[in-house]
Amino acid sequence: MNQQRTSRKSQSDKSKNIQLNKGQACFNCRRRKVRCDGKKPICTPCSTFYGGGLHDCEYTDTGLAQSQVLEEKISIIESRIQELEKPNETGTSIGLHNPYRPIRSRGSLSPQLNEFTPDPSTSISQSNLILKSWTDFFHTITSNVLQYASQVGFFLNPQILEALLEDGAVPSQIACPALLSAIYLWGAHLSRSETMISEASLLSDALRNISGSLSNGRCPNAIMQTLQAEVLLAQYFFCNARILEGKYHASAAVSIALCSGFHKIRSADARNLANSNLTPAENPMEEGERINSFWAVLTLNNTWLAADGSPRDISYAVVDTPWPLDMHSYSQASRILPLHSSATVESFLSNFPDHGTSPIALHAKAAIVFEQASRLAARFTEDIAVRKSPNMFTAEFSHLDGVIESLKQALPPLEPNGSQLLPLVIHSLAQVATIQLHNPFCLKHDHSRSCAISAAMAVVEFVRQTNLGDVRYIDAIVGTLWMAACQVLITELSRAKYSPRAVHFHEAVETLLAAMSVFSRGCRMIKLQLETAQGNYA
């Protein structure tokens, strides 16, 4: 017995001498505030815990711990129960801070987001079918997803959608049930017309199929296709203002991406390669899908969690994967991609030059600065210590402001009267990052106020340059972004009612409201933001 105690004491002493970086301790030790030695599969403090040890020792450097996943599920279920029991008293607000309110009052720019109820036009109606056959139906809705792939989060090689559209295609041989049902769900939503199956039925199918998709041995490329399905479901829920469910599926996508090692592709650190569960890609296109999948997940996570005020799920310190390319460029990946890559996001935030110039890479960068600006502004707003000791904050502020301006200068101009939506989303994200960063200072500092106004007017100009006449859908995050720009301009109108600039501000607000109106029919999130903006403008 004494020998056993001595052994345990020796192990404990050794574990105390090991210094781990922040976030590397196991989940149990972090909760118990015990020094962890990082030993795997079970660390020393967990193995020597009273009563035979803790056997659920989990590390979160590659994803959420199982207990965190369960807690999040419980939280979502409890919130959904509360929404159903008291539908008029609950809701999820999502939006950016009002730049002109006092610091201690953090009003949201967005309305209360109630439960989404599918429009009656999406229900089954045998008397008025607009498609002559099931084949035509699935062909049409798949075409919708192909057309708006960049706006709904579709990152896989588009050839999978094209294969589904070929005559005689057998969908079950091309994609797993989870991905097929997510594609059909989005396709039906984008159709904006009566369909043979209701959205509610398609959503039910998608949720049922996603639950066991990773363990489906018959699913082709189960990890990638399940990850794609999770991203599509998250985007669908965000579009329909079901924020909790959107966050749940976004977090699930993060867990799959990190556990699969998609954040360490081509890592310069040999230890990452040795510890990775990732099998080598069979060809450049497969590697490209993996790279693009990670950045799609990071972009989704950054935009929506930053807008919601939630902490991000991905630490930038662990990201070594190179910036993404357009899918067709991966055929030349050996000449374009770096042989080894490291600290991709941290290097970008340090304002180091890089080769991340594809539209997908610029989208990810815009999402990163949007998230960083939102976090930094929130720190100043919420942390009294930061406001009392502003020197370090000022340095961070100035540096991030420089990163944002460098990115905006690097963005290619929009094509006049073009109909490309992704560039509009990217420019909107980058400009609203400026608005977010200067939010806490607009009341007292003319420079910050001027920056916010210039950024809001830039958003208006980008909207005016884009031909929205035949467009049916745009990424739902623009509702939050354009709402933020609207709020800046509406507040300026209240300050300068009789100024010559007032006419320009009126025209600018009406431009944004008209653009939001175009997309409000197909996106409940944008519709709710539009209604709030109209109320503030009235």
Q: What band does 496 get if pLDDT is binned at 50, 70 and 90?
A: confident
Q: Any idea what the Cα angle at residue 445 is, between residues 440 and 450, rounded to 5°?
A: 90
CA distances from 62 to 38, 170, 174, 259, 427 (A): 14, 36, 29, 5, 31
Q: pLDDT tens digits for 106-156?
A: 333 333 223 333 344 433 344 334 444 677 888 889 999 999 999 999 999
66-85 and 243-259 helices, crossing angle to 10°: 170
Same domain, 340 and 406: yes
Kindly give, in sequence order, each residue whose CB lies less than 8 Å from that of residue 131, ignoring residues fewer than 6 positions away. 137, 140, 195, 196
**Distance between CA atoms of 185 and 235, rounded to whole angstroms?**
11
Same domain, 452 and 351: yes
Instruction: Tell me the pairing of strands 92-93 and 112-113.
Output: antiparallel
CB of 151 within 8 A of CB of 526?
Answer: no
**Distance between CA atoms of 238 and 117, rounded to whole angstroms?**
14
CB of 398 within 8 A of CB of 337?
Answer: no
CB of 92 within 8 A of CB of 85?
Answer: no
Same domain, 43 and 76: no
The verdict on residue 168 lying in a domain is no
pLDDT at 215 over 90: no
Tokens read off for 528:
């709710």
The verdict on residue 195 lying in a domain is no
Cis status of the peptide bond prior to 171, with omega within 30 of 0: no
Same domain, 250 and 316: yes
Mean pLDDT, residues 148-172 taken together:
92
The verdict on residue 495 lying in a domain is yes
Same domain, 363 and 434: yes
Which 3 state secondary structure label does DSSP give 219? Answer: coil
Which percentage of the chain shows pLDDT scores above 70? 77
**Distance between CA atoms of 442 and 434, rounded to whole angstroms?**
12
DSSP for 342-405 reads --HHHHHHTT---S--SHHHHHHHHHHHHHHHHHHHHHHHH-HHHHHSHHHHHHHHHHHHHHHH
Same domain, 18 and 81: no
The verdict on residue 203 lying in a domain is no
Residue 114, pLDDT score: 30
Q: pLDDT tens digits for 62-72?
A: 555 666 555 65
**Amino acid (1-letter code) at residue 502:** A
Residue whose tokens read 């590390």: 59
Residue 125, pLDDT score: 42
Residue 275, pLDDT score: 58
The verdict on residue 428 lying in a domain is yes
Q: What band does 517 get if pLDDT is binned at 50, 70 and 90?
A: very high
Q: pLDDT tens digits for 400-451?
A: 999 999 999 999 999 988 889 999 999 999 999 999 999 889 988 999 999 9
Same domain, 85 and 41: no
The verdict on residue 136 lying in a domain is no
DSSP state of 112: E
Choice between 398 and 387, residue whose per-residue pLDDT is larger: 398
Residue 370, pLDDT score: 98
Which 3 state secondary structure label does DSSP give 280? Answer: coil
DSSP for 126-190 reads TTS-SSSSHHHHHHHHHHHHHHTHHHHT--S-THHHHHHHSTT--GGGTS-HHHHHHHHHHHHHH
Mean pLDDT, residues 268-279 taken together:
66
**Distance between CA atoms of 532 and 538, rounded to whole angstroms?**
10
Same domain, 26 and 80: no
What are the counts of helices (DSSP H) followed by strands (DSSP E) for the chain? 23, 2
Domain membership of residue 23 as a residue range? 2-47
pLDDT at 242 over 70: yes
With 0-12 / 13-18 / 19 or more C-beta atoms within 10 angstroms meaning exposed / middle / buried, residue 251 is buried
pLDDT at 9 over 70: no
Same domain, 9 and 80: no
**Distance between CA atoms of 91 and 28, rounded to whole angstroms?**
33
Same domain, 29 and 102: no
Same domain, 347 and 383: yes
With 0-12 / 13-18 / 19 or more C-beta atoms within 10 angstroms meaning exposed / middle / buried, residue 283 is exposed
**Distance between CA atoms of 365 and 298, rounded to whole angstroms?**
10
Spatial CA neighbour of 458 closest among 421, 475, 433: 433
Residue 334, pLDDT score: 66
CB of 44 within 8 A of CB of 8?
Answer: no
Residue 402, pLDDT score: 98
Q: pLDDT tens digits for 75-86?
A: 555 555 555 555
Q: pLDDT tens digits for 363-396?
A: 999 999 999 999 999 888 776 666 667 778 889 9
**Distance between CA atoms of 246 and 242, rounded to whole angstroms?**
6
pLDDT at 74 over 70: no
The verdict on residue 214 lying in a domain is no
CA distances from 76 to 46, 120, 152, 310, 318 (A): 29, 26, 23, 14, 28
Mean pLDDT, residues 247-276 taken together:
86
CB of 168 within 8 A of CB of 337?
Answer: no
**Distance between CA atoms of 237 and 207, rounded to whole angstroms?**
12
**Helix (H) or strand (E) run with residue 92 in it:** strand 92-93
Same domain, 73 and 30: no
Kindly report the average pLDDT of the chain as a whole number.
83
Count of domains for the chain: 2
CB of 225 within 8 A of CB of 182?
Answer: no
Q: pLDDT tens digits for 277-335?
A: 667 888 999 999 999 999 999 999 999 988 888 888 899 999 999 999 999 999 876 67
Which percentage of the chain shows pLDDT scores above 90? 54
The verdict on residue 342 lying in a domain is yes
CB of 264 within 8 A of CB of 290?
Answer: no
Q: What band does 518 get if pLDDT is binned at 50, 70 and 90?
A: very high
CB of 292 within 8 A of CB of 153?
Answer: no
